[in-house]
Amino acid sequence: MKMEKIDINFKKEEFKKATDKACYTIPCDKFDLYGVFYDEDLHQFVRMDNCVAKKVSDSVGYLSTHTSGGRIRFSTNSSTIGISVTYPSLVQMPHMPLTGSCGFALVEKLEDTYKTVSVFRPNHDEKNGYTGEVKIEGEGVHEYILFFPLYNGVSDLKIYLDSSATLYEPEKYRNIAPILYYGASVDQGGCASRPDCSYTAMLSKWNNIDFINLGFSGNCKGEPLMAEYLTGIDCSLFFMAYDGNAPDAEYLEKTHFPFYQIYRKAKKDVPIVFMSVPCFDNFPNSDKRREVIYKSYLKARENGDNNVYFIDGETLFGKKDREICTVEGIHPNDLGFYRIAKVIEKLYHEIGL
């Protein structure tokens, strides 16, 4: 028996096609798109130039079509909001809910906080796409952010509003360049329950700062080509957190400082954060990996670079109840991501963001 037959609260939202709906195909005016762009050749949303991504590796080429960090900001007085999503395939994993890997999280931005409006998500048998709709509580104009899936491609996205509704100019992020993250599966967002529960998304919500997520699950290995690509992205802060994808500490030592050097040569004034894996207790040779990263930090400082920072991954989950911060000892759950974000936010303030 299906759970929705037993408990209606587990039933997915039904999308009702009607003539009183206005349909907007994204990208679209009045819907501000962040963190991803639409590749006309691939017919998909992507996080980076796919031609470059494929040159880095086939896996990075594939993962660049996962939409982690993608967001749409819009403002409307519509009494309903619906979406229609199509994708090349449905990415399902045994340790991550579809709400996070494949879902779209719709949140309302209030004055200084956020309200979860809905999480549009597929059923397990919806292999090529899904729809969803939510009725909005309260009249008037609402400010929204729609977060894209963390671990799925998106070929087509349509947003449906009341045909009588008005679209207003949405609020903007603070007038500073985005935060740029380069890292592993944790940084891509595995295994948050919703797209807005990754640590990168939490920090963006708390500080109203745009961000670009270039975490590539299992495949961030400090390639020089990737370092060169990153230098072409305008940002106010750059995170290097790829040690979890290095095959071993020896590989990390060969690539980590050279990667930094390539980036710093081109980006002389951008603050750089070196961060080690948060799943310190269970990750192979996490102490040796941390040592490599800390050596890079010290060497950069010794060479006169005072605009580098180090975050010890062992501190990210805190001391109490560390064992409940992950889904299987490695990838954070929402509590784990929350604790990571709280530690990083302190550094944000130290840097002056």
* Residue 329 token pair: 């000892």
pLDDT reported for residue 252: 98
Q: Find the range with the poorest average confidence among 15-24, 81-90, 120-129, 194-203.
A: 15-24
- Which parts of the chain are beta strand (E)? 21-25, 32-34, 37-39, 44-46, 71-76, 80-86, 104-109, 114-120, 129-135, 142-147, 156-162, 167-168, 179-183, 211-215, 237-241, 272-275, 308-311
Task: Identify whether the C-beta of residue 33 lies closer than 8 Å to the C-beta of residue 72.
Answer: yes
Out of 8-12, 47-51, 323-327, pick the least confident: 8-12
How far is residue 132's CA from residue 12's CA, in Å, rounded to a whole number?
8
Note if the bond before 191 is cis, omega within 30 degrees: yes
Tell me what the pLDDT averaged over the chain comes to: 95
Secondary structure element (H or E) that encloses residue 240, with its range: strand 237-241
Residue with tokens 């960090």: 69
Which pLDDT score is estimated for 6?
56
**What residue ranges define each of the domains in the chain, with the CATH number in brackets?**
17-168 (2.60.120.260), 179-351 (3.40.50.1110)
Between residues 179 and 282, which one has the greater pLDDT? 179
Residue 197 has pLDDT above 70, yes or no: yes
- Mean pLDDT, rounded, for 288-299: 98
247 close to 223: Cβ distance less than 8 angstroms: no
Average pLDDT for 104-116? 96
| Dist CA 97 CA 115 (whole Å) | 21
20 pLDDT tier (thresholds 50, 70, 90): confident
Dist. CA 131–CA 67, nearest whole Å: 18
pTM: 0.96
| Exposed/middle/buried for residue 300 (C-beta within 10 Å: 0-12, 13-18, 19+) | buried
Residue 4: what pLDDT? 65
Q: What is the pLDDT of residue 213?
A: 98
Cis peptide bond prior to 27, omega within 30° of 0: yes
Which pLDDT score is estimated for 5? 63
Residues 6+ apart with CB under 8 A from 298: none
What's the pLDDT tens digit per position in 155-173? 999 999 999 999 999 999 9
pLDDT digits (tens, 9 = 90+) for 236-285: 999 999 999 999 999 999 999 999 999 999 999 999 999 999 999 988 89
286 pLDDT higher than 70: yes
CB distance 69 to 211 below 8 Å: yes
Would the pLDDT of 10 be above 90?
A: no
- The neighbouring-strand residues paired with 142 are 76
> Which secondary-structure segment (H or E) carries 161?
strand 156-162
